[in-house]
Structures are given as structure tokens and as C-alpha cells.
Amino acid sequence: MAELNITERQAGDVTILDMNGKVTIGEGSIALRNAIRRLLGEGKSKILLNLGNVGYVDSSGIGELVSSFTAVNKEGGTLKLLNLTQKIQDLLAITKLLTVFDVFEKEDEALSSFE
């Protein structure tokens, strides 16, 4: 089974990526990078990453989240995070990235923030 499975949903003009697995060095980070590149290539630049089923992220995965954020911003879009586990929140706090990302606990609130 792949380290990270990503399922895409559409809610209006927002694309939600439901992520399941690990965002770690190698396969998991590459899967996220490829998914973001593909969405940007399709002109989809309002992106919500649902991390509720991501059990593990390492520094490479955190770096990939940052790269995704900057790549989407560069295209004039917005990338936000949904359903962080406590461990991922802790990692974002340690790295001071909670000040960078818009983070939501509820999907409807996250979606309305894009309007």
C-alpha cells in the first residue's frame, strides 16, 4: 500500500484533498508534491488539505507543506489546512508555521473562508 493516499473532492471552486497515511521523506512527500502540481496545472488554486487521517509527518513532510503553500500562492491561489492531529499541530507550533498556515477544525468553516 502507498505511504500516502490522496483522494480529491470538489466543493464549489475549492478542491479538497483527503490525505490518508504518512507525509514523510520519499514517497509520501512526492505524492503530495505531484498532487499540488497537477491541481495547479488544471487551474485549481483554491486547495484545502484534509490531514485528519495523516498519522505522521516528518521534517521533509513539513517542508513539502511549505513548498505547496508557496507554489499555490505564486499562482495567486490559496492553500489551507483542515483537521490537524495533535502531533501535527505540535510540529507546526515547534516550527512556528501555525502563524503561516490558515488552519481549520471544521470543513464548512474552512470552505466559507475561501469566499
Contact 47, 76 (CB under 8 A): no
Of 17, 19, 35, 62, which lies in the binding site for other proteins, with binding defined by CB under 8 A? 62
Rounded Cα–Cα distance for residues 112 and 13 (Å) = 11
Say which residues have a Cβ less than 8 Å from residue 12's Cβ, sequence separation at least 6: 111
Query: Among the candidate windows 24-32, 36-44, 47-55, 105-113, which touches other proteins by CB under 8 A?
Result: 24-32
Name which of residues 67 to 106 contact other proteins (CB under 8 A).
67, 69-70, 87, 91, 94-97, 99-100
Size of the site for other proteins (CB under 8 A): 21
Q: How far is the CB of 36 from other proteins (least distance, A)?
A: 13
Q: How many CB atoms lie within 10 A of CB 88?
A: 22
Interface with other proteins, residue 2, by CB under 8 A: no
